[in-house]
Chain A
Amino acid sequence: MIEHKIIEKQLFKNMVFNLLAFTLIFAIFGTIIFNQIRISLYNNTDEELLNTKQKVLNGQIKEFNYDDIKIKIVEEFKLQGIKELINPRVIYILRNEKGNIINEDSIGRFFEDYIGYVNFNENSLDTIFNTKINGYNYRETDFKIIDEYNKTYYLQLLINTDSEEHIIKNIFKILWLSIAITVILSIIASYILSKKTLKPIIQSWNKQLEFVQNASHELRTPLTIIQAKQELLLLDPNATILDKSEDIALTLNEVKRLTKLTKDLMILARADSNEQQIKKEVTNIDELIKEISKPYIEYASMQEKEINLNLKYNKNINVDRNRIYQLMIILLDNAIKYTEKNDKIDVVTYLKDGKCVIEVKDTGIGISDIAIKHIFERFYREDKSRTRKSGGTGLGLSIADWIVSSHNGTIKATHNTPKGTIFTIKIK
C-alpha cells in the first residue's frame, strides 16, 4: 500500500533522526567528559611545572653551579624547614644559549640514556606541551634564564606523564565503547520510540483515509443514481413528466441527500480542524428541549407514535444552544425513524452527581449488540437500505457525539427493555 510505504519511510526518517540526535548528544557528552578528565589530569602536572618555573624565576631555586651543574635549595628555605622545594617528579635540563645540555651529570644516571632524545625548540618557550622521549610521555615547559653575568640559559622542565596517559587512554577506550554501546541501544530505542510516536499518527491517518473513502463513496452513490436516472429520461423522449414522476422524485431525493451529506461533512470537517466554535450561554435546558420537541410531538402523533416529555433538571446550564438544538434534532429524528406505529419515545432530563442527564428512550426496533458498539462511528450503518429510505447520511450520531464531547460530556447508547434504544447524555 502506498500509504504504508509513506509511513515506513517516515518511520525510517524518524529513526535516523533519533539515532543522529542520540549519537550527537552522547558524542558531545563523551567529548566533554573526556576533555574534562584530561584537563584535570594534566592540570596537576602543569601546576607542578609552573610552580617549579615560578620558584626558579623567583630565585627560590637558584645557585646553578654551572661548573658541576647542581640545582641547590635556597638556604633560607632550608632554615625554615621546608624540605620539598624541589619537586622530585621534575627533571631539569639546563641548556646554554646555543642549546647544548650543560647539566648532564645532575640529571642522573637513569636519564642519561634518554638525554640524546630530548628535543629543544626555542619557539616553544613559555608554553606547556606534551612530548615523547624514547617512547615515554612527558609534559614539558621551557623558559629562558639570564644570570647575574647577563648570560642566557634555557631550562627545560619535564614531568613523566605515562600514568596520566595510561589513564587517559583507558578512559578514551571506555568512552568509545560506551558510545558504541549507546549508539546500538539508541538504534533500538529510536526504533521503538519512532514506532510509538507514529502509532497515533498511523491510526489517525487510517481513520482519515477511511473517512475520505467513505465520504467519496457516499457522495458518488447519489451522483450515480442522478446520472443514471437522467440518462433514462433521455432514452424515453416521448414520455410525459407524469410518466416519469417517480424517477424525477427519486432524483430530487438524491439531490436532497447530497445536500445534507455535504452539510454534515462540513460540520465534521470543521469539528476535526477545531474551526467549529462552541458559544456557551446560560440556558434552561428543560425549556429548550420543550421548544425543540414541540414540532416532533405533532409529527409523531401524525404517525401514531407518542413523544412524552419528563423534564426534571429544572436548572440553568452553560451550553451552546444551537448545538444542543442540533443534538436533540438528531436524536429525535433518529427515534422517529426507528420506531413504528404505537411506539413511544420518552425524553427525560434530571440531575445526577452534579451533571445534567438527558435521555431519549424509544420502544422502536432497537440496535443489534454489534451495531451498538459502532453507532457513533462515521458512516457506520447497520442496514444501508433502511438508512437510505429514512434519508440518513450515516453521520448524524457522529455529529451528536462531537457536540456532546465539545461540551465535555458523554453520550452512550444502550438497549431499552423490552425493546428499543436509550441514548443517555451527561453534561456538567
Chain B
Amino acid sequence: MDKNIINSINKKIYIADDEPEIRNVVKSFLDRDGFITEGFDSGDTLLSEFKKSLPDLVILDVMMPGTSGFAVCKEIRKTSDVPIIMLTARDSDLDYATAMSLGSNYYFTKPFSGLELSGKVKDILNNKESLNGYSR
C-alpha cells in the first residue's frame, strides 16, 4: 500500500477560504487521498473550531472578509505548531515574507495545482522537518 495513503488515515485538515468553489476543489483533492477535511467560510469560524478540536494541518486563504488568513495564522501560532499552508492571490515578496514570519509553513499562490497542494500536504504530514517553502 502507498505510504502516503496510510499516513493520511484519520488526519484532519481544516480549510478556510471564503470562495466556496476553492474550498470545494481543495477538499476534492484531499478527500481523494483519504484525509478528513473540514471547510470554513471565514477565519473566525475556523478559529472557533480550532479551539474545540485540533486538526493535523490548516490551509488558509489570505484575503478573507473579517479576520484575514495572516491574522488567523498568528492566532494559531500562539498556542500550536500545527503545520499551516497559506493560499493566496497575492504573490509579492512582502506577502511571502509576511506569511513566513507569521509562522506559516508553506505558501501557495493562486492559481495553484491541486495535485501539488495535496502532494505538499502529504510531504508535510510525513516529515515535519522539511516544511518551509513556497510555490508560485
Contact = CB atoms under 8 A, between A and B. Distances in A.
Interface of A: 1-2, 213, 216-217, 220-221, 223-229, 231-232, 235, 250, 254, 384-385, 388
Between A220, A224, A225, A227, the greatest number of chain B beta carbons within 10 A of the residue's beta carbon is seen for: A224
Interface string B102-124: 00000001111111000000000
Contacts of B29: 228, 231-232
A232 B94 contact: no
B43 to A, nearest CB: 14
B110 to A, nearest CB: 4
B133 interface: no
Given A220-B111, A231-B113, A385-B41, A225 B22 contact: yes
Contacts of A227: 111-114
A235 B119 CA distance: 14
Interface in B1-52: 18-22, 25-26, 28-29, 32, 41
A223 B113 contact: no
Nearest to A385: B20
B117 to A, nearest CB: 9
Given A220-B89, A388-B19, A228 B63 contact: no
Contact of B28 (A224, A232, A385): A232
A243 to B, nearest CB: 14
B94 A2 contact: yes
A231 B110 contact: no
The 3 A-B residue pairs whose C-beta atoms are closest, nearest first, are A228-B25, A217-B89, A223-B111
A1 B93 CA distance: 11
Nearest to B19: A221
Given A221-B19, A224-B25, A231 B114 contact: yes
A221 B22 contact: yes
25 contacts: A217-B90, A220-B110, A220-B111, A221-B110, A223-B111, A224-B110, A224-B111, A224-B112, A225-B21, A225-B22, A226-B111, A227-B112, A228-B25, A228-B28, A228-B29, A228-B113, A228-B114, A229-B25, A231-B29, A231-B115, A235-B32, A384-B18, A384-B65, A388-B20, A388-B21
Interface of B: 18-22, 25-26, 28-29, 32, 41, 63, 65, 89-90, 94, 109-115
Given A385-B41, A388-B20, 13 more contacts: A2-B94, A213-B90, A216-B90, A221-B21, A223-B110, A227-B112, A228-B114, A232-B25, A232-B29, A254-B21, A385-B19, A385-B20, A388-B21
B90 A232 contact: no
A1 B92 CA distance: 11
A168 to B, nearest CB: 60
A1 B94 contact: yes
A228 B21 CA distance: 10
A355 to B, nearest CB: 37
Nearest to A213: B90
B19 to A, nearest CB: 5
A213 B63 CA distance: 10
A345 B82 CA distance: 51
Contacts of B19: 221, 384-385, 388
Nearest to B110: A220
Nearest to B25: A228
Contacts of A235: 32, 115
B66 to A, nearest CB: 12
Nearest to A2: B94
Nearest to B90: A213
A231 B29 CA distance: 9
Contacts of B89: 213, 216-217, 220-221
B95 to A, nearest CB: 10
A61 B55 CA distance: 116
Contacts of A229: 25
Contact of B114 (A216, A220, A232, A250): A232
A231 B26 CA distance: 11
A254 B89 CA distance: 16
Contacts of A388: 19-21
Residue among B18, B21, B112 with most chain A CB within 10 A: B21
B94 to A, nearest CB: 7
A229 B19 CA distance: 15
Nearest to B18: A384
A221 B32 CA distance: 22
Nearest to A389: B20
Contacts of A220: 89, 109-111
Most chain B CB neighbours (cut-off 10 Å) among A213, A217, A228, A384 = A228
